Amino acid sequence: ATGTFRQPTTVRPLPAKTVRIGRDAGNDLVIDDLVVSRQHAELRALADGRHEIVDLGSHNGTFLNGQPVSRAVLGAGDIVG
């Protein structure tokens, strides 16, 4: 799969907990788009204060700054798609 890199439509602060992302209504962050899997990814708060994005085996993949990732630590200004 390939990602289309776009400027974000919203910018959100990162919470100090795990946030499950996907199309299913049971997720913490629901994205109503068929490109997004029902259980797509998790945004995890790490003990050292950083955050990581973890793909949950999604069909179309998870992207960080336009590059596909299965797991990656986030930095200031990073764009997850």
18-74 residue pLDDT tens: 999 999 999 999 999 999 999 999 999 999 999 999 999 999 999 999 999 999 999
Domain residue spans in the chain? Answer: 19-73
Residue labelled with tokens 């400027």: 7
Q: Is 1's pLDDT higher than 50?
A: no
pTM comes to: 0.81
φ, ψ dihedrals at 71, nearest 5°:
-160, 135
The answer for residues whose C-beta is within 8 angstroms of residue 25's C-beta and 6 or more apart is: none
Q: Are strands 29-30 and 19-22 parallel, antiparallel or unpaired?
A: parallel
Classify domain 19-73 at the CATH topology level: Tumour Suppressor Smad4 (2.60.200)
Confidence of residue 8 (pLDDT cuts 50, 70, 90): low
Residue 41 has which token pair? 């990814």
Residue 27 has which token pair? 């997720």
The answer for residues whose C-beta is within 8 angstroms of residue 75's C-beta and 6 or more apart is: none
